[in-house]
Structure 1
Amino acid sequence: MTTRTPWRRLALLTGLALMATACAGTTRSDVTQQTSAPAAPASSAAADPNAPIKQGLKIAFLPKQVNNPYFTIADEGGIAALKEVGGEGKEVGPSEASASSQVSYINTLTQQKQDAIVISANDPNAVVPALKQARAAGIKVVSYDSDTAPEGRDLFVNQASAEDLGRTEVQLLAEQIGFKGKIAILSATPNATNQNTWIEFMKDELSKPEYKDMELVKVAYGNDEDQKSFTETQGLLRSYPDLAGIISPTTVGIAAAARYLSSSPHKGKVKLTGLGTPNQLRKFVKDGTIEGFELWNPGDLGYLAGYAAAALASGQITGAEGEKFKAGKLGEYTIGPKGEILLGKPTVFTKDNIDDFDF
């Protein structure tokens, strides 16, 4: 999302009232850790940008966890995209976001001969052997939100640059605490590729001279569970009573942290930022618990991933850099290096603009 106007238009057109309260993310597509499973054969077919979208495509969305409202929103966007092109989409997946929890679902989808699998990986490598088997069977694979190792997929639909997201979250918090004090990070799961990539860039940003008076004291993990994230926030404040701020790059974490801070003596003293949705955090912005946070539209992310998967399965694109395809209401997109497609830059939400958004 880039401006207020498109979001107003989106709300009018779709009537979405999104209440996402869960993990969101992105990561690099050049994951360095590799798996020993044999590589899936690359397609030798050339892209045909004029090819029509095949009718009756079957595309499955495999999120990190199905009881995660963030992914419900994203996958509903993808399923809507499939309906627009005469296809059929569905969401399947585990109820817990563990590293290996998605493998059995990939195997089942392969047996069902889906045309494409759209996956947000809990672990970049654990899913790769199963995804290679799917690709060897002719199934296209698109990762979204959280990438797999590159050999496990054809495309990665990324919300925004991982570097931009990691650095801007530090910048937001630094401004709020006057570039001084102890800070902590409340992440999702220890193996989440999205969180870990952002944290790398956060640490690199903190190494710059302007942050010399800021100290990262701990990275805590709430496992994308509300109660654990709430408890971890409580633990951070007990261990570091002089903590100046918290960055939580997960919508479950930031909501739980905001709930704890809003009813504690630390409200207004400990600054909180990260990734969340306007509807989810509006009351915390208005009561002063949060000054500013950022995110993108998860529905648009899934929508773009759905169109990308349909274009792949129809032969319009192969995943090569420079190829272009149209993604419905979002317009035309160009595939970047290593099969990455960027949705767009996130927006910072504050008390001055939060009421301009409804998702």
Structure 2
Amino acid sequence: MLRNRLLKGAVVLSVGVLAITGCTNKNDAAASGDEGGKTTVAFVPKLQGIPYFEAMNEGGKQAAEELGIEWLYQGPTTADAAAQADIVRSFIQQKVDTLIVAPNDPDSMAPLLKQAQDAGIKVATADTDAPNSVRQVFVNQTTEENHGKALNESLMKAMGGSGDFAIVSCSETAANLNAYIDVIKEDMETNYKGVKLVDLVYAGEDQSKAAAMATDLMNAHPNLKGIVGLCSAAAPGVAQAVKDAGKIGEVFTVGGGTPMSMAPYLKDGSASASVLWDVQNLGYLTAWTGNELAEEKTLRASFDVNEKIKGVSYDATSKVELLGPPLVFTKENVDQFKY
């Protein structure tokens, strides 16, 4: 009888241990923000709701479906560094596997990326870098030099290689936009002696504000011949301002707008070109890279992701992953792209 009681006690103890273990595993999964056991990749854009980052989100969702991971997407509703930081903190608390940010303010984001890393989360940046942070990879769309020169070439072709121009940028602290500005200035000074940059203004990620600023620029500089709308919100904004002012063919605009947002302006001539890249592919590559980091894989110097995303490069020294060269959208090819 004693032997039977001991056996029964052992069975009860074993069941209890299994129940405790099961609860612990469930709690661990819940704490990690993923109850289904999938790898969680969180992306925090500079601004949620604008066509550019929504296109990145579409690419990320496609990658998540094909890779079997969970893609989390949330950004601030205004281009506000503090609001973005709150979202990053939330993802840190959720203990996602990989956290990827397009920082509005790289310097203020750096400590948060360190906090995420200290919590055991893989960290990266995409679209916009925080080079002085602990980010493990920067998923870059194209080189600053290639993008800046492509904008210059498109603008100079429209302006005939001479005249006054202005730049309407977005965030004053966005590393990629500021790098493009530096390239534009240097390239203009070196290669286009008959061109003068008369003003540089910042509209945040606000299309209406960009349009108002472009209107002010045209009023303040009667000889203005060109405007660069540097980001996806500024590009359609400056084109709209030219259209509203009745200056199509007098003031030429180029920028970095998404194809669908720029199509009407390219077709009516208020915009001459839009220089960008395949934004959905950038979103796909961002999610794919997040999964690679979570699985602690080493990126190769050159590789293909799939049939659509080929020739991606990675520099181990700078930890920059490069999608490829920029695309120039014009009235002839813009309808080929549905984002």
SS at match of 1:207: helix
Return the alpha-carbon distance in structure 2 between the equivalents of residues 102 and 154 of structure 1: 20
% of aligned pairs identical?
32
> In the alignment, what sits opposite 1:284?
265
SS at match of 1:355: helix
Deviation at 1:72, TM superposition (A): 1.5
Which of the numbers 293, 300, 305 marks the counterpart of 1:327?
305
Return the alpha-carbon distance in structure 1 between the equivalents of residues 69 and 304 of structure 2: 16
1:53-92 → structure 2 map (5 Å cutoff): 56-92=38-74
1:289-308 → structure 2 map (5 Å cutoff): 289-308=270-289
CA 1:260–1:290 in 2, change beyond 3 Å: closer, same or farther?
A: same
Q: List runs of 5+ in structure 1 lacking aligned partners.
A: 1-53
Return the alpha-carbon distance in structure 1 between the equivalents of residues 337 and 277 of structure 2: 11
Larger Rg: 2
Return the alpha-carbon distance in structure 1 between the equivalents of residues 280 and 186 of structure 2: 30
> In the alignment, what sits opposite 2:237?
256
Deviation at 1:298, TM superposition (A): 1.1
Deviation at 1:293, TM superposition (A): 2.1
> In the alignment, what sits opposite 2:326?
346
Bigger shift: 190-199 or 256-265? 256-265
Return the alpha-carbon distance in structure 2 between the equivalents of residues 103 and 328 of structure 1: 33
- Letter matched to residue 196 of structure 1: N
CA 1:284–1:334 in 2, change beyond 3 Å: closer, same or farther?
A: closer
> In the alignment, what sits opposite 2:28?
none
Deviation at 1:260, TM superposition (A): 1.6
- Letter matched to residue 48 of structure 2: V
Residues 243-288 of structure 1: CA distance to partner in whole angstroms, max 9, x if unpaired? 0100111121111111121132322100100112222122212212
* Contact 1:311–1:325 under 8 Å retained in 2: no
SS at match of 2:164: strand
Return the alpha-carbon distance in structure 2 between the equivalents of residues 163 and 198 of structure 1: 7
Return the alpha-carbon distance in structure 1 between the equivalents of residues 271 and 207 of structure 2: 18
Return the alpha-carbon distance in structure 1 between the equivalents of residues 48 and 338 of structure 2: 23
Highest RCO, 1 vs 2 (Cα 8 Å, sep ≥ 6): 1
Which of the numbers 138, 144, 151 marks the counterpart of 2:120?
138
Which of the numbers 250, 272, 275 marks the counterpart of 2:256?
275
Return the alpha-carbon distance in structure 1 between the equivalents of residues 83 and 175 of structure 2: 15
SS at match of 1:64: coil
Return the alpha-carbon distance in structure 2 between the equivalents of residues 170 and 74 of structure 1: 25
CA 1:235–1:59 in 2, change beyond 3 Å: closer, same or farther?
A: same
Deviation at 1:326, TM superposition (A): 5.7
Return the alpha-carbon distance in structure 1 between the equivalents of residues 211 and 199 of structure 2: 16
* Contact 1:183–1:243 under 8 Å retained in 2: yes
With normalisation by structure 2, the TM-score equals 0.84
Deviation at 1:324, TM superposition (A): 6.1
* Contact 2:78–2:205 under 8 Å retained in 1: no
CA 1:127–1:74 in 2, change beyond 3 Å: closer, same or farther?
A: same
Return the alpha-carbon distance in structure 2 between the equivalents of residues 331 and 173 of structure 1: 29
CA 1:324–1:271 in 2, change beyond 3 Å: closer, same or farther?
A: closer
Return the alpha-carbon distance in structure 1 between the equivalents of residues 221 and 206 of structure 2: 22
Which of the numbers 225, 228, 236 marks the counterpart of 1:247?
228
Aligned residues: 302
The question of 1:153 aligning with 2:132 is answered: no
* Contact 1:308–1:327 under 8 Å retained in 2: no
1:11-90 → structure 2 map (5 Å cutoff): 56-90=38-72
- Letter matched to residue 296 of structure 2: G
Return the alpha-carbon distance in structure 1 between the equivalents of residues 232 and 101 of structure 2: 19
Which of the numbers 230, 236, 258 marks the counterpart of 2:211?
230
Deviation at 1:211, TM superposition (A): 1.3
* Contact 1:142–1:305 under 8 Å retained in 2: no
* Contact 2:107–2:132 under 8 Å retained in 1: no
> In the alignment, what sits opposite 2:26?
none
Return the alpha-carbon distance in structure 2 between the equivalents of residues 174 and 59 of structure 1: 41
Residues 64-98 of structure 1: CA distance to partner in whole angstroms, max 9, x if unpaired? 11222311210221122122221111112211112
CA 1:332–1:347 in 2, change beyond 3 Å: closer, same or farther?
A: closer
